[in-house]
Amino acid sequence: MSIYNAMVAATDANDADKLNDLYDDDFIFVRHQSNTSMNKVEMHELRLTHLNSDAFKVDARRCLYENDDVMVMHQIMTFPNGSKEALMMVNMLKAGKIVSTETGATPLPDA
């Protein structure tokens, strides 16, 4: 099973632990907007917040490309304040795990 398919299955099952298992112990998430980063533990905590809240929604998610080294994804994310962003994610892979993620987000106008 591809990492993307495993990610979708775990997300659809609302299983944060299975999601966490997809990430390497040395995982890093680069946050360009704030010039900060998050590690695997911090990302897991954020994921729990998202999965346990009806205020965060993900729509139109899809994998644009995946091989053994990289997985590129796109989705629309709605936040608790009602704002929406088109989110592009580039995940670097190693030995079947996600080792880093960088994102680009475009704010979307209200419908």
**Span 21-59, pLDDT tens digits:** 999 999 999 987 788 899 999 999 988 888 888 888 889
Would you say residue 66 has pLDDT above 70?
Answer: yes
Helices and strands, counts by H and E, the chain: 3, 6
Query: The tokens 């979307």 sit on which residue?
Result: 108
**Per-residue pLDDT, 47:** 87
Within-domain flag for 12:
yes
pTM reported for the whole predicted model: 0.89
Averaged pLDDT score across all residues of the chain: 92
Nearest-CA neighbor of 14 among 43, 61, 54, 62?
A: 54
Within-domain flag for 110:
no
Within-domain flag for 93:
yes
Would you say residue 99 has pLDDT above 90?
Answer: yes
Report the 10 Å Cβ neighbour count for 41. Answer: 12
Tokens of 66: 């995946």
Within-domain flag for 10:
yes
CATH number at residue 65: 3.10.450.50
**Per-residue pLDDT, 52:** 82
Q: Which domain holds residue 87?
A: 3-105
Strands of the chain (E only): list them: 23-31, 36-39, 57-66, 70-78, 84-94, 97-108
Torsion angle in degrees (nearest 10) through CA of 64, 46, 96, 71: 10
Q: For the chain, what is the domain count?
A: 1
